[in-house]
């Protein structure tokens, strides 16, 4: 709340941004906590960050600036919710990991753990590329009951557990819109 009004998307007038679920101040505090936990666990070893685009964009930008460890940053693109979908259509890999990650400690970062298929697929790709260890970090996780049988059941680091609603903001989108909202809000009226 308190931010500037967001103009309606001209060709998509029905869904709208509803109540704020996680305000920006809480996000900032939690990102600090996550960074401390990650630093402690990696214990000075270099981190290979793999950011799942595009949803993790804002989260990764904030998180990495709180991690003093030596790191490389790779962008991975996996699309599960094409266009106006609000349910996972299954992950499609658009850009995968670099060919050789032998010996590297990878931290895969995504915005949301929902069915878990996206992260499961990403973990498999990074293992295949030879990573020594692959850990996972998400800003928000929907309830474990929504996980698919073939999805990743849990992430190693979770910012917030949220109800099974469709959210936008802080990088998360509906039809590629609303990523720029500073808070996490519930999308209402979408279909
Ligand atoms: P999963 O494969 O079902 O776990 O879906 C994870 C991906 O779907 C994330 O990378 C998000 O991009 C997207 N996603 C899932 N739920 C939402 C949501 O509520 N809002 C926006 N994107 C979502
Ligand atoms: Mg995504």
pLDDT tens, residue order, the chain (191 aa)? 556 666 666 655 556 889 999 999 999 999 999 999 999 999 999 999 999 999 999 999 999 999 999 999 999 998 776 667 777 777 888 887 777 889 999 999 999 999 999 999 999 989 999 999 999 999 999 999 999 999 999 999 999 999 999 999 999 999 889 999 999 999 987 44
157 — phi, psi (to 5°)?
-130, 125
Q: Of these residues, 62, 114, 175, 183, which one is catalytic?
A: 114
Confidence (pTM): 0.89
Q: Look-up: residue for tokens 């519930």?
A: 186
Does the residue 185 lie in any domain?
no
Please report, for the domain that includes residue 48, its CATH number.
Answer: 3.40.50.2020
pLDDT the model gives residue 9: 60
For residue 91, the model assigns a pLDDT of: 82
Query: From the alpha carbon of 115, which atom of ligand 1 is closest?
Result: 3
Which residue, judged by its Cα, is nearest atom 3 of ligand 1?
Answer: 115
Q: What is the pLDDT of residue 178?
A: 93
The reply to whether 61 falls in a domain is yes
pLDDT at 10: 60
Q: What pLDDT is recorded for position 191?
A: 44
Q: Identify whether 59 is part of a domain.
A: yes
CB atoms within 10 A of CB 3: 13
Strands in 15-143 per DSSP E = 16-22, 47-53, 71-79, 92-95, 105-113, 133-141
Whether 137 maps to a domain, the answer reads: yes
d(CA 189, CA 161) in angstroms, rounded, equals: 22
Is the Cβ atom of 175 under 6 angstroms away from ligand 1? Answer: no
> pLDDT at position 3, please?
61
So what's the pLDDT on residue 4?
64
Query: Considering the domain boundaries, does residue 12 fall inside one?
Result: no
Centroid of ligand 2 to alpha carbon of 44 (angstroms): 29
For the Cβ of 54 lying below 6 angstroms from any atom of ligand 1, the answer is no
Alpha carbons 58 and 56: distance in angstroms, whole number: 6
Ligand 1 atom closest to Cα of residue 172: 21
Instruction: Determine, yes or no, domain membership for 181.
Output: no
Would residue 114 show up in a list of annotated catalytic residues for this protein? yes
Q: For residue 88, which atom of ligand 1 is closest to its CA?
A: 3
Largest CA distance in the chain: 49
Ligand 1 pocket member 166 (CB < 6 A):
yes
Count of structural domains, the chain: 1
Q: Is the CB of 112 under 6 A from ligand 1?
A: yes
Structural domain harbouring 150: 24-78+90-162
Which tokens in the block code for residue 176? 């590629």
User: Cα–Cα distance between 172 and 55 in angstroms, integer?
Assistant: 5
Tell me, yes or no, whether 18 lies in a domain: no
Is there a domain that residue 138 lies in? yes
């Amino acid at each position: 709340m308190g931010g500037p009004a967001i103009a309606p998307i001209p060709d998509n007038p029905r869904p709208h941004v509803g109540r704020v679920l996680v305000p920006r101040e809480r996000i900032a505090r939690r990102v600090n906590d996550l960074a401390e936990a990650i630093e402690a666990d990696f214990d000075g070893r270099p981190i290979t960050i793999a950011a799942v685009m595009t949803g993790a964009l804002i989260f990764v930008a904030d998180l990495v600036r709180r991690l003093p460890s030596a790191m490389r940053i790779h962008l991975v693109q996996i699309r599960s919710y094409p266009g106006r979908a609000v349910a996972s259509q299954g992950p499609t890999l658009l850009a995968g990991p670099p060919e050789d990650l032998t010996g590297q400690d990878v931290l895969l970062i995504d915005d949301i753990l929902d069915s878990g298929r996206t992260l499961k697929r990403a973990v498999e790709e990074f293992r295949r590329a030879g990573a020594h260890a692959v850990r996972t970090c998400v800003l928000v996780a929907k309830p474990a009951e929504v996980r698919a049988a073939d999805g990743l059941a849990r992430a190693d680091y979770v910012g917030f557990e949220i109800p099974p609603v469709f959210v936008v903001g802080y990088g998360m989108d509906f039809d590629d819109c609303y990523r720029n909202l500073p808070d996490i809000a519930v999308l209402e009226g979408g279909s």
